[in-house]
Amino acid sequence: MNAVLQEVTNTLDAPLVARQLVHGYEGQNVLDGVDLGLTPGSVLGLIGRNGAGKSTLIRAMLGLLEPLSGSAFVFGEPALKLSDSAKSRIAYVPQQPEALAWLTAAQMLDFVGRFYPRWDAPFAKTMLERWKIQPNKLLAKLSPGERQRVDLIRALASQPQLLVLVLDEPAAALDPVARRELLRELALRAGESGTTVLFSTHIVSDLERVASEVAFLHNGKLLLRCGVDDTKERYGRLWIPAKMTAAAPAQSLSKRRNEDGSLSLIVERDAQGHWPEAATLPGARIDALGLEDLFVEIAE
């Protein structure tokens, strides 16, 4: 992971880079020295429990808050001092969009569209029709799901192709059909236009559908980052009986002692695809984990 980060941070036009980000609220650390970099064209799903620091990380990476320490860069520019050129290549949809409630959906798209040089007005119109949103209805009068859809249209119509599209909890207020359509759109953009996508979610099935990479954020720290396909059959839950716990491997992603004294550990295969030796101990048992199980095990 560090190699990837090194590579990314050395690239001036890397879409998004965070270095040692630290932030907290009321004396409690929310981000604890997070390093994260995105390569152009990648789709990174940021996953973590509620309060893990996902939104704070995204906001800090985009310069929407001043971190206590560390730095973030967007297309090589400091996130807190972005140029208009960098801004025109970014689209951000917050978890519960509340902006410009006094405008209608059409007015908001018209207003925002004037600022983006490559604004796709026909796309915005088509999407409003497809998602059955009344263009002349005030945003304040739309349901939370409709409002999020309008904000997604706003983000996509600015055509952040070849650029970074940062979404935060993109599907939180969407119904299953709209969510599926959105994910298809994201996959299409990433695949065909090379749009870099960072999105945070706790719906693992969404992530498996579109993300090429996944990063686990837990208690303000990035526990794991890997390709989605790599996670399949790579991680496992190793159960070691109480009398054998002395032989437990030192390296594990998480370790939990059960009531009967036995140990449950999350371990990964080595470069040759072998489980740790402890898996062969008498009475030990190993179960390969899917992405959702892995998330649950790590987050517990």
Q: Which residues bind other proteins (CB under 8 A)?
A: 59, 62-66, 78, 80-85, 87-88, 90-92, 94-103, 107, 110-112, 114-116, 138-141
The residue among 21 and 289 lying less far from other proteins, judged by its C-beta, is 21
Sign of CA dihedral 216, 222, 227, 230: negative
Measured distance CA(21)–CA(33) in Å, rounded: 5
| 211: its two tokens | 């993300």
Name, in order, each residue with C-beta under 8 angstroms of 141's C-beta and a sequence gap of 6 or more.
none
Least distance from C-beta 140 to other proteins, angstroms?
A: 4
The residue among 48 and 97 lying less far from other proteins, judged by its C-beta, is 97
Least distance from C-beta 85 to other proteins, angstroms?
A: 7
Specify the residue for token string 């880079």: 17
Least distance from C-beta 149 to other proteins, angstroms?
A: 16
By three-state DSSP, how is residue 259 classified? coil
Least distance from C-beta 80 to other proteins, angstroms?
A: 4
Q: What is the DSSP letter of 256?
A: E
Least distance from C-beta 258 to other proteins, angstroms?
A: 40
Measured distance CA(190)–CA(69) in Å, rounded: 32
The residue among 87 and 179 lying less far from other proteins, judged by its C-beta, is 87
Specify the residue for token string 């208009």: 84
Measured distance CA(54)–CA(63) in Å, rounded: 14
The residue among 109 and 217 lying less far from other proteins, judged by its C-beta, is 109
The residue among 198 and 224 lying less far from other proteins, judged by its C-beta, is 198
